[in-house]
Structure 1
Amino acid sequence: MGKFENKVVIVTGASSGIGEATAIDFAKEGAKLFITGRNKERLGNAAKKCKAAGAEVHEFIGELAEFQNLETLIKESVAKFGRIDILINNAGVADLKPIENVDVDTYEKLFHANLRAPVFLSKYALPYLKISKGCIVNVSSVSGIIASPNLVPYSMTKSALDHFTRGFSSECAPFGVRVNSINPGFVETRITDSMYTSDESKKKGFERSKKKQPLGFINSHQISEGIIFLCRSEMTTGTILSIDGGMILSS
């Protein structure tokens, strides 16, 4: 077993992509997992993979853009496992369109899922993290650092999430609780697929992304490695860690 044996880890958005990879990698490290997702079948498949790696797993089905689910999620995880050691705020949504086509529903969906959810999950988890001297990793995006057309509201949520990471880490440090952010570049996941309205627009988008990342595309487990590193590193807090294939270099 690894360093995280019997640690209780919450991973939101664990039904696919980065969240699923992170849950599986923590399972291999001996963690107990509380995983969330919107799709029962996909989350169940992710849970099976974690259990196959030897983990005890509890599933929570719910939309984190719905505010009432946030406190419920934390309470249910504590009721199940009795503690929280690590919170991975991974769940999020994206929308690829210019500002002139953004309506208020799209705007609110992005901010509720990408920013409000991690802020309040962190707030509700903090009393338990103080006890365990645990940590939080927010899954942000390189889009929170560099500006891109047609991603402005999404980028705003991630930039704000990074600022939350820095500010909240300073509030948590006196309690021995660490807060960090991981900022992926282009990773092919269900979220990135959902940003495109057609196969042709997806093809063009992928071609643009290939040119921007000198090291090429990133897979979800490479992001998970960074997340686990931030959880291992006992003197790292307030850090914004980019794993972007060199995208920042070409911006």
Structure 2
Amino acid sequence: MGKFDNKVVIVTGASSGIGASTAITFAREGAKVVVTGRNQERLNETSEKCKAVGAENFQILEVVADLEKFKNLESLVKKTVDKFGGIDILINNAGYARAETIETIELDTYEKIFNANLRAPVFLCKYALPHLKKTKGCVVNVSSCASLTAGPGGVPYSMTKIALDHFTRGFSAECAPFGVRVNCVNPAATDTRFGDNMNVTKEMFEKMLENFMKRQPLGVIKPQQISDAIVFLCQSPVITGINLPIDAGMLNAPAM
């Protein structure tokens, strides 16, 4: 028996990193998992890994979708309910970042960051809520420690994560009367493919990770360490409205 037998879980950004790890963890525990992302090949890889830990074909639904496009948000919820009959858990993990200063950023990039990191989670919550009410389900939003610190080159990204943190707290208060819980995790630097989406070279990204290592006494975080925290929040019946930093000691480390 798994901890999430027959629970229906949507995981956005499930083609790699934290999303893939989270989908696989839920699959291992018996859930029916909807994996969504923009890359079909990588989604297939995630699905195969879900099956490798015990999921049957009928327990996995792949939805290739760009959640920056508004029409895909309600469609994702509809496809999930059409396939599985309901929703128990929503994991808003998909995100987008670019290394831009306020001086260099253009409107299309600004909108892309906000649409992916904030509009998508907000409206997925809106469309999923009627189904979550029926199951007394839960939401976990994946924010970032970037919402808790400030620095050059990532202000728009940080802005979306600060807003996502506050949305989590406010939405949790709206949902509590229905028995629906809403929480958030705030990872520091994590070993994912997130750098692929940033306008930086491999060398620049490696330098960024090196700098993070100096700020994170416990080192760069593994995706499974984030997904373990996500699953914990989904299991607890009395935790709601929190932002949980998973920072490898960064927030308490001396400034460099």
TM-score by length of 2: 0.96
Q: Give the unaligned 5+ runs of structure 2.
A: none
Secondary structure of 1:100's aligned partner: coil
**Which of 217, 220, 228 is the matching residue for 2:220?**
217
**Which of 242, 245, 254 is the matching residue for 1:242?**
245
**Which of 69, 74, 88 is the matching residue for 2:72?**
69
AA aligned to 1:16 is S
Percent identity, aligned pairs only, is 61
**For residues 107-164 of structure 1, what are the alpha-carbon distances to aligned partners after superposition, in whole Å with 9 as ceiling and x for unaligned?**
0000000000000000000000000000000000000111121110000000000000
Deviation at 1:203, TM superposition (A): 2.6
- The alignment's C-alpha RMSD in Å is 1.0
**For residues 92-113 of structure 1, what are the alpha-carbon distances to aligned partners after superposition, in whole Å with 9 as ceiling and x for unaligned?**
1111121111110110000000
Q: Is the contact between residue 22 and residue 221 of structure 1 (CA under 8 Å) also seen in structure 2?
A: yes
Secondary structure of 1:101's aligned partner: coil
Q: Who is 2:109 aligned against?
A: 106
**Which of 155, 169, 173 is the matching residue for 1:170?**
173
Deviation at 1:200, TM superposition (A): 2.6
In 1, Cα distance between the equivalents of 2:197 and 2:106? 17
AA aligned to 1:21 is S
Corresponding position: 1:47 with 2:47:
yes
AA aligned to 1:35 is V
Deviation at 1:198, TM superposition (A): 1.7
In 1, Cα distance between the equivalents of 2:152 and 2:41? 34
Secondary structure of 2:61's aligned partner: strand
Q: Is the contact between residue 196 and residue 202 of structure 1 (CA under 8 Å) also seen in structure 2?
A: no
**For residues 174-218 of structure 1, what are the alpha-carbon distances to aligned partners after superposition, in whole Å with 9 as ceiling and x for unaligned?**
000000000000012111343352233123211110011011010
In 1, Cα distance between the equivalents of 2:135 and 2:202? 47
Alignment of 1:24-103 (within 5 A): 24-55=24-55, 56-103=59-106
Secondary structure of 1:188's aligned partner: coil
Alignment of 1:185-204 (within 5 A): 185-195=188-198, 197-204=200-207
AA aligned to 2:54 is G
- Runs of 4+ aligned structure 1 residues displaced above 3 Å come to none
Which is further off, 198-207 or 88-97?
A: 198-207
Q: Who is 1:149 aligned against?
A: 152
Q: Give the unaligned 5+ runs of structure 1.
A: none
Q: Who is 2:209 aligned against?
A: 206
Q: Who is 2:187 aligned against?
A: 184
In 2, Cα distance between the equivalents of 1:41 and 1:17? 14
Provide the aligned length of Structure 1 versus Structure 2: 251
